[in-house]
Chains A and B, each alone.
Chain A
Amino acid sequence: MRLSVVSAPVAASASSPMDPERLYREHVASLYRYALRLCGDPELAADVVQETFMRLVRRPPRDLAPRAWLFQVATNLAREWGRTGARRERLLRVAPVDALLADAPPAPDADVLAREAHATVHAALAGLSERDRTILLMREEGFTHAEIAAAVGTTPKSVGTLIARALTKLAALLAPTREAR
């Protein structure tokens, strides 16, 4: 027996909702964005995404919709692997802008300013609690309030309030930067 984690998916056909090829194409970018913001380390985020999809191949979900399942697994992996909070916080704060954002050619001033603004938002996100960050990032990736509620263990009705609180905290963290400009 060769227990190889990397094996070609054969269980699902191309038209199946569990087709790993299609799910990878559709969700890898979104999942990476999410994982990156969640754990703050580009390499760790890539590992989280890779392992998430390998788990999809090895043991596809039965009860959950595949997209929700992928994000749930990625959330758990990011949480588990980045459990050392201090380390994660440090990474989130000191990660260079170039490591977090898209590679770009030498940019005009407007692009430079935009990248700095994005980095500021990333730093502010890093200052939120893990739950607030998860809520905002899942919302940004288009999850419904019901799906977010299931992920963080609350009721759909309270998700709106939780999002509002998280956004208010984020705005407060961003405010000093804005005033400084």
Chain B
Amino acid sequence: MTPSHIDDGDLVRWLDGGTMTLTQRTAVERHLADCAPCAARHRTLADATARVHAAQQGVALPVSLATPPWHRPAAARRTLRPRFAAARWRVPNASAARTIAAATVLFVAGVAAALSPVRTWIASRATARTTARTTARATRVARPTGPAAALPNATAWHHVDLAFVPDADRLTIELRGASGDTLVIHAGSGAAVRVRARAPGADPTVIVLPHAVRLGRDDVPASAFDVELSVRTRAVEVSGARGPRVRLTRAAVSAPEGWRVVVP
């Protein structure tokens, strides 16, 4: 409080009460009675406070929060939609910038491929690479035991591709629905993870959280993932409600440029 006028902070403290002594409060009240500018500021602050208070009282609790989430049946539980994708998660081909970048790369590659020396070099590299990749995939793809044979034809499945960089060492991917399976990926911070979520007959529901991804719907009996992990990934746990728990480590499934896990 200055000798001439009341400090704004003191005005608020006086309005809020509790942080001023009785002497200080009395001093503020006396000053407000005699000082028109301070009284006007006080009215402004008090009026804004009252309007915020009145506006906040008009907010009602939505039905979805009437009961705690742990009491709700699975089918009635709220799910977080993948609307946060734009903020943290990158869905392939979702941004115009990516489209432009891809088009640019294609254009440059097309021009380069038109040149005879480049075309010869690409042809030689492609042959070598196909051979190497076929060999590597046989060691990289892990198929935990399960009712894979019962899954519908792949053409009847819909999928959603996600590519993201978790900001923590541990990223959880939940398989919802009857399978209850869970993937826990111990990815190094900043490591890229790509997931293709599949569900029969309709697009799988994807729920993106800061450190977890929930895939699948409660009413769909089965779903599946293709997960591509970066080289910095240390281990993947594949867990099922009914099946055995599987933990894959880089020592068990090693590949120089990353590895891929398919969970039916």
Contacts and interface: CB of A to CB of B under 8 A. Distances in A.
Nearest to B46: A167
B64 interface: yes
Given A81-B87, A117-B55, A168-B44, A24 B68 contact: yes
Contacts of A130: none
Q: Is the interface of A mostly helix, strand, loop or mixed?
A: helix
Give the interface residue-count category, chain B: 35 or more
Nearest to B184: A3
A150 B168 CA distance: 25
Contacts of A136: 52
A33 B56 contact: yes
From A101, A121, A159, A160, name the one whose CB has the most chain B CB atoms within 10 angstroms. Answer: A160
Contacts of B34: none
B60 A117 contact: no
Given A6-B74, A51-B80, A84-B86, A174 B48 contact: yes
Contacts of A21: 68
A50 B45 contact: no
Interface string A83-113: 1100100000000000011110000000000
Contacts of B84: 81
B61 A29 contact: yes
Contact of B60 (A24, A103, A121): A103
Given A3-B184, A145-B13, A168-B45, A46 B78 contact: yes
Nearest to A29: B61
Contact of B65 (A20, A50, A84, A122): A50
Contact of B12 (A28, A37, A49, A163): A163
Contacts of A87: 86
Given A28-B61, A51-B209, A160-B10, A167 B239 contact: no
A139 interface: yes
Contacts of B81: 43
A118 interface: yes
Nearest to B86: A84
Given A53-B69, A161-B9, A2 B52 contact: no
A165 B58 CA distance: 25
B182 A1 contact: yes
Given A3-B239, A80-B87, A161 B68 contact: no
Contacts, number: 156
B219 interface: no
A28 B9 CA distance: 30
A115 interface: yes
A57 interface: yes
A164 to B, nearest CB: 3
From B8, B10, B53, B214, name the one whose CB has the most chain A CB atoms within 10 angstroms. Answer: B8
B59 A1 contact: no
A13 interface: no
Contact of A122 (B55, B69, B212): B55
A170 interface: yes
Contacts of A100: 59
A114 B51 CA distance: 10
Interface in A130-181: 136-137, 139-140, 144-145, 156-161, 163-165, 167-168, 170-171, 174
Q: Which 6 A-B pairs have the closest CB atoms?
A: A160-B9, A102-B60, A164-B8, A121-B55, A161-B9, A118-B55
27 contacts: A5-B174, A6-B74, A20-B70, A29-B61, A32-B59, A37-B59, A46-B64, A50-B64, A51-B80, A57-B70, A82-B87, A83-B87, A83-B88, A84-B86, A100-B59, A118-B58, A121-B52, A121-B55, A145-B19, A160-B11, A164-B9, A164-B45, A167-B48, A167-B49, A168-B44, A168-B48, A171-B44
Given A144-B18, A160-B8, 18 more contacts: A1-B182, A6-B74, A8-B70, A20-B68, A24-B68, A32-B61, A33-B59, A36-B59, A49-B65, A53-B69, A80-B210, A102-B58, A122-B55, A137-B56, A163-B16, A170-B51, A170-B52, A171-B44
